[in-house]
Amino acid sequence: METVYINSPLGITKIIGDENGIAVISVSDVDTNEISETIPEVLQEAVSQLQEYFEGKRTDFDLKLNPKGTEFQQKVWKALLEIPYGKTVSYMDQTKKLGDVKAIRAVASANGKNPLWIVVPCHRVIGTNGSLTGYAGGLSRKKWLLEHENPSAQQSLF
């Protein structure tokens, strides 16, 4: 696995992956990681696409993904990929789409364990009342991402 650290508007972004795909994209406020001087070839496309996203030039990602997780987590993360850029859904909407309204806590937990920040858009899942509940990257980042994707207003997909 190769690793690269880049600057983003929301902190230091770490990308980990290999020829099998991108396994981790995360963000941190901690400035102990040095920004990478070189980008491993296998991560260059991920870096490029994230930069385009932050510049407002990209609304979807075309990357080979290889996140590690349980079968259930993989199912939840795959469903997140269906939420369009600039739209939001509630945790309940997501749970209903996955077919089991009783699994809302498990779905929320899987969202929280999403290892592919931004690319698998768990930031697009909000509370039923429209609140910005829960986000592993911090609510200020979630707010920034949602405003970046839809500066005029949030609209529900369902």
* Residues noted as catalytic: 122
Q: Residue 110: what are its φ and ψ, rounded to 5°?
A: -65, -40
The span from the CA of 132 to the CA of 141, in Å, is: 10
Amino acid of residue 18 = D
Helical packing angle, 91-98 and 104-112, nearest 10°: 110
Give the full edge-to-edge strand order of the sheet including 2-8: 2-8, 11-18, 21-28
